[in-house]
Amino acid sequence: MCAGLVLGVSGLTGCSSSEEDPDAGTNGIGKLSATKIQRKSRAAADAAPAVRLSGTLVSKGHTYKLDMRLKDEGGTGSVTSKGETFKLLRVGKELFLMADSAFWTHQDAKGGEKPGKADEDAAAKLDGKYVKVPEEDASYQQLSGFTDKDVLLEGMLTLHGTLATGERGTTSGNPSIEITGDKGAGGTLDVSLKGKPYPLRLERAGDAGSLRLSDWGRDFALEVPDKDEMVDYGEQLPDS
């Protein structure tokens, strides 16, 4: 009888007053504790074959702007530091750096000296070229870290302090739930409530950067540059 009953109050139909389940149609992690949400989110991230990471990262007093695509075999994208932008490409253990002539002129000029004509000519030849970074070079470990999915996620996806669930909302068009460390002082992570519980946005503790994580599982090509696109200096970068 209820199904056929039309109530005399405008806008009201049916016979139930129960509230809608906020977890209906989600992946269900909103029902879990913050600790379990973080654990499941980290497991999903570790298992994903690829991810895009963009935003700012503050480390050891330096601010880096990143836009990197990463997977187990390597990564590619751009890094901006101290007003200079360069591209990185890693395929397996082979790491390549591409920058404009201004970047290389700055590298060649030592002790704040004004670069000479020879420095400018050498830098011009590297403009728009991939330069292979030798594994023996001091900069290899730091630069390759920007292209390493496991290294970046290991250092970024950990919240500090007492964990708690926060507000629900939308992140990058996806329904999400927030988890915090020490009420946000230890970092804030937005986790997807749709599909796999991937981390979508991270506010790092101590104003150490804000990062967006997207394109989870979306593959991309990684290829060593052709010989006419790169320069190989051997065991050390020029004047590095």
Residue 194 scores a pLDDT above 90: yes
Return the pLDDT at 239.
54
**Which of the four pLDDT bands, split at 50, 70 and 90, describes residue 16?**
very low
Q: Indicate the average pLDDT of the chain.
A: 86
pLDDT in tens, 85-119: 999 999 999 999 999 888 887 665 555 555 555 45
Cβ distance 149 to 156 under 8 Å?
A: no
Chain centroid to CA 43: 16
More confident residue, 90 or 121: 90
Q: What percent of the chain has pLDDT over 90?
A: 62
Least confident of 22-31, 44-53, 104-113, 168-177: 104-113
- Tell which wins on pLDDT, 224 or 121: 224
Nearest CA-CA partner of 173 in 211, 214, 142, 140:
214
Strand partners, 168: 177
pLDDT at 1: 41
Which CATH class, in words, describes the domain spanning 29-93+135-215? mainly beta
Nearest to 180 by CA among 202, 197, 169, 164: 164
Residue 78 has pLDDT above 50, yes or no: yes
What are the structure tokens assigned to 167, written together? 């507000």
Residue ranges covered by each domain of the chain: 29-93+135-215
Q: Return the C-alpha torsion angle 40, 153, 147, 219, nearest 10.
A: 10
pTM over 0.85: no
pLDDT of residue 187: 95
C-alpha closest to that of 231 among 86, 83, 129? 129
pLDDT of res. 100: 87
For residues 228, 233, 236 and 240, what is the CA-based torsion angle, rounded to 10 degrees?
-70
To the nearest 10°, the Cα dihedral for 105, 110, 114, 119? -40
With DSSP H G I counted as helix, E B as strand and the rest as coil, what are the percentages for the chain, rounded to 5?
25, 35, 40
In 3D space, the residue among 205, 214, 197 whose CA is nearest the CA of residue 181 turns out to be: 205
Higher pLDDT, 147 or 12: 147
List the structure tokens of 66: 């990143």
Report the C-alpha dihedral over residues 28, 34, 36, 37, rounded to 10 degrees.
50
